Structures are given as structure tokens and as C-alpha cells.
Amino acid sequence: MTRRILLLGGTGEARDLAGRLHADPAFDVVSSLAGRTAAPLLPEGRTRVGGFGGPDGLAAWLRAERIDAVVDATHPFAAVMTDSAVRAAERAGLPLLVLRRPGWTERPGDDWRRVPTLAAAAADLPGERVFLTTGRKDLAPFAGDDRRWFLIRSVDPPEPPLPPRHATVLARGPFTLDEERALLREHAVDCLVTKDSGSPMTEAKLTAARELGVPVVMVDRPPLPPGVAPVGTVDQALDWLSRHAG
């Protein structure tokens, strides 16, 4: 019997999982993307773009589409979507798995300052020329800082409010270590602000900061909803699906 899977995606792990499910006739996978970037990287198989209308709307969609299981493989900072998915799956009586890659680990030579939120990061920046890699929609906490200069990198143009003194780099990663090292040097960056996404595809900036002695303000991930026990790899997600879907 074919098992219908809703895969909440947007990450490299989600695309990998979608491809492997698409190749397996035992599964019929629908990947859902939030639609926050103008030209997202699409996974194999069927896709849908846009929101569901909160937990109630998602629960209704799950019932209407006769979904057998839900996998949340969204970004580790997509807390609202994860909370909505957990509540919707519960209301629809469906099993749900959260797939989250492990976070980054500090290494010898790193100068990290962990903070719980972006607001906490903005309140105590250890530098004057700050490289922001927090996403184009998370810049408001830094908008009131008219003393520091900010380098903002994102795939699409950043959304206001923005810091008064800033430059923007529009680019899609992954970036090589040489590219990250050159960028930090070119702009004389003396502080890096990033979220603990944990992706090896975006880790080069941390290595460059270590090599150049640039301090890193690392924003911790939001907590998962109570009772949620995530898995960290696509193989673990596939094993879970073989046991729980349908």
C-alpha cells in the first residue's frame, strides 16, 4: 500500500529525503515550501508553496489529502511552523517526525558568544563592522544601531527595517572557505552574527572567522515543542517512516 507523506521542507535534508522517497514506490510524497525566497531550490516529486492557515488549516489539509504521516524537516529556526505541524498532526491523529540536523560545536580557536535570541545578540555586539548571516527577515533587532556598520548577506533583498549603515550582498550558498575568508577581509569584518543552523554547507564562515580571529555571536535554536524527540539524519527519518507511516 502506498503511504502518503507530507514533507515540510526547505532544507538540504528535506530535499535529500524527498528524493529518496520519490524513488520508492511505497511512498507518495508531497513537499511543502514556505515560499519565502523568490526562486527556491525545488525537491524531486510533487511540491506545494505557501502556508496552510495555521494548525487548523493544516489539519484540514491533512485529512482532505489523506496523508498517512508528517515529517517536519524545516529550518531549525522555523519554530512557528514546527509548532503548527505538531498541533495539526495531533488533531488529525497522524504520526509526526521532526528531522533536525545537529547544531554546530565550538572548536579550539573559536571565539563564540552564545545568546538565546537575536535581540540578545544585538544588545551586545563585540565589534564595529558586523557580518549578519541571520536571514533577510530577522534584521529588525539591529535596525536601531546607528554606530556600527553591517554587512548583510541573503538570497533575496533584505526586508526593512535595516541598520542605517550597511551594505548588502545578494548570493546563494554554499560558499567556499576561500570565498568566506576573502569576504571577511575585504570588508574588515570584526564580528560575525549567525544562527546555530548546524549545516555543514554553511560552516565555512565559521572556519574563516576562527582563522582570522573574528568573534562569533551564535544565536541558539528555539526549543522544540514539549514531547518532541527529533532525529538527526535522513537515514533515521527513513527508518522511522518504514515503521510508523501507515
Is-cis flag, bond preceding 161, omega within 30? yes
Instruction: State pLDDT tens for residues 6-36.
Output: 999 989 999 999 999 999 999 999 999 987 7
Band (169; pLDDT cuts 50, 70, 90): very high
* Distance of alpha carbon 76 from alpha carbon 68, whole angstroms: 24
Cα angle at 42 between 41 and 48, to 5 degrees?
125
Strand arrangement of the beta sheet that strand 3-8 belongs to = 46-49, 27-33, 3-8, 69-72, 96-98
pLDDT tens digits for range 106-156: 999 999 999 999 999 999 999 999 999 998 889 999 999 999 999 999 989
Residue with cell 514546527: 82
Which pLDDT score, from 0 to 100, does residue 35 have?
73
Give the list of residues 6+ apart from residue 113 with CB closer than 8 angstroms, or none.
124, 126, 215, 216, 217, 218
Residue 140's φ and ψ, nearest 5 degrees, are -55, -40
Task: For residues 108 and 207, give the distance between their C-alpha atoms in angstroms, rounded to a whole number.
Answer: 11
Say what the pTM is. 0.91
